[in-house]
Structure 1
Amino acid sequence: MTTTLASTFTPEQKADLRARFLKVDTANVADVLDEMGHLDFGLASSFWPIRESQNKLAGWAYTIRGQMTPYAGTGDPEKMKAVAGLSEGEISVWSGGGASGVCFFGELIARGMQHRGCAGALIDGGIRDIEWIAQMNFPVFTQYRSPVQSIGRWGVNAWQVPVYLPGATAERVRVRPGDFILADFDGAIVIPIDLVETVLERSEALTRKEVAIREDLDAGMGLPEVLEKYGHV
């Protein structure tokens, strides 16, 4: 249950890449992926941030998969084993929930993750304790809210395996352990680990270009002149 992709980055490199991704927008990342011919890595618009003013969600995917299944007991030991493996700068990516109507993420598990250095959560399912989590400066994007707990109804069956999440332009987007997740006010997107450096460098260049365009527009340059100077953006 702990299969992972071998990372080509050191912890220091990962931290640096994450800090740089926090300075670019998902829109620019999406445009760069399109230019590179990778058209279907945007996630469904149904993922929403639990706090509109929260920080951007950015980090390396740590995948957790589950399913609806009845079971006895007062907890899910597999879930506890799964979250124990999270480390600094990772995003817990939860799959297998869909529209089940139950919550499998709340304040206590969020606090435990945050103490391990987890950078946030992306949840294809339900969440509760939103008011408390919103006070933690812990970014969370989720599909829906529900007070109904998952215990006895939904259980973790694997972690650190490839998972599927609903996509924006495709029915499903494959997320592997170690892929990069970026989410902001415009939505969420996946950057495959083998494309991370190239996508980031091109996104940073596009960001610099947009800064220059804004400066020219604010200085009084007309839009036709801007488009002639910089081309389409």
Structure 2
Amino acid sequence: MTFSADERRDLRQRYLQVDTANVADVLDQLGHTEYGLSSEFWPIRERLEKMGGWAYTIRGQMTPYPGTGDPKKMEAVSGIGPDELSVWSGGGATGICFFGELIARGMQHRGSVGALVDGGIRDIEWLARMNYPVFARYRTPVQSIGRWQVNAWQIPVYLPGATTERVLVRPGDFVLADFDGAMVIPAELVLEVLEQAEALTAQEQRIREDLDQGATLPEVLAKYGHV
């Protein structure tokens, strides 16, 4: 299914009103059980961070190289657009920074709405001051130049999963991340999952209201079923 720019923006805003837990439950109910990402992804502002966006993938690898920059990296980051979220696949290379404040600022100016980094980030203090959510595997001051290099972008990539070793993320899939973790929603399921997650969110609100009014948990379960 192809969405217009306005539809993509609207869907993204709607996804930000539901939780990853409900999205995970809906995907399970639909038989798509392996789209949760590893719990090693953490938000730089744990109590504030929530992000959702259309995946813009960037892949790199550890490789020594001469010079003072990574031209492919600069080309890759300049291609991102509105309502897109950069997904960095780097094999979780320990100790190397893939992403920092200046790249984040450049992407944000192009309309990007966040970053999910299978590797390290730095400039944490500056990133935390920006209205730009970032989830990453670890933090490190060690730069990637001369050590880790971008080799492709806007291709399918793998990220570490919660219940499986690897989760496939394709350009145009949707990524939602919040305090509980991160989920990937395949592009062809985006609307179906959203509508069911919205319905589940509304049901949970009714359950909270019943409990607040004195209903017991068995009564709530009998009324609404498994929650």
TM-score > 0.5, shorter chain as reference: yes
* 1:166-185 alignment, distance < 5 Å: 166-185=160-179
Instruction: Please tell me whether the aligned partners of residues 43 and 49 of structure 2 are also in contact (alpha carbons under 8 angstroms).
Output: no
Structure 1 equivalent of residue 206 of structure 2: 212
Q: Give percent identity, aligned residues only.
A: 73
From 103, 106, 123, give the equivalent of 1:129: 123
Where structure 2 has 5 or more consecutive residues not aligned to the other structure, the ranges are none
What CA distance in whole angstroms lies between the structure 2 residues aligned with 1:52 and 1:99?
23
Query: Are residue 87 (structure 1) and residue 81 (structure 2) matched?
Result: yes
CA deviations on 1:11-63 (whole Å, 9 max, x unpaired) are 00000000000000000000000000000000000000011133411000000
User: SS of the residue aligned with 1:104?
Assistant: strand
CA deviations on 1:78-135 (whole Å, 9 max, x unpaired) are 0000011100000000002413311011110001011111000000000000000000
Instruction: Please tell me whether the aligned partners of residues 76 and 155 of structure 1 are also in contact (alpha carbons under 8 angstroms).
Output: yes
Instruction: Please tell me whether the aligned partners of residues 40 and 167 of structure 1 are also in contact (alpha carbons under 8 angstroms).
Output: yes
Where structure 1 has 5 or more consecutive residues not aligned to the other structure, the ranges are 1-6
From 50, 66, 77, give the equivalent of 1:72: 66
Amino acid at match of 1:201: E
What CA distance in whole angstroms lies between the structure 2 residues aligned with 1:64 and 1:104?
10
Structure 2 equivalent of residue 187 of structure 1: 181
What CA distance in whole angstroms lies between the structure 2 residues aligned with 1:68 and 1:115?
28
What CA distance in whole angstroms lies between the structure 2 residues aligned with 1:104 and 1:143?
11
Query: Are residue 203 (structure 1) and residue 171 (structure 2) matched?
Result: no
What CA distance in whole angstroms lies between the structure 2 residues aligned with 1:179 and 1:39?
16
CA deviations on 1:129-177 (whole Å, 9 max, x unpaired) are 0000000011000000000000000000000000000000000000000
Spell out structure 1 runs of 4+ moving beyond 3 A.
none
User: SS of the residue aligned with 1:213?
Assistant: helix
Question: RMSD across aligned C-alpha pairs, in angstroms?
Answer: 0.8
What CA distance in whole angstroms lies between the structure 1 residues aligned with 2:151 and 2:82?
23
* 1:108-147 alignment, distance < 5 Å: 108-147=102-141
User: SS of the residue aligned with 2:97?
Assistant: coil
Instruction: Please tell me whether the aligned partners of residues 211 and 217 of structure 2 are also in contact (alpha carbons under 8 angstroms).
Output: yes
Amino acid at match of 2:193: V
Structure 2 equivalent of residue 226 of structure 1: 220
Q: What's the TM-score, normalizing by structure 2? A: 0.99
What CA distance in whole angstroms lies between the structure 1 residues aligned with 2:50 and 2:147?
31
Amino acid at match of 2:194: L
Q: What's the TM-score, normalizing by structure 1? A: 0.96
Structure 2 equivalent of residue 54 of structure 1: 48
Structure 2 equivalent of residue 3 of structure 1: none
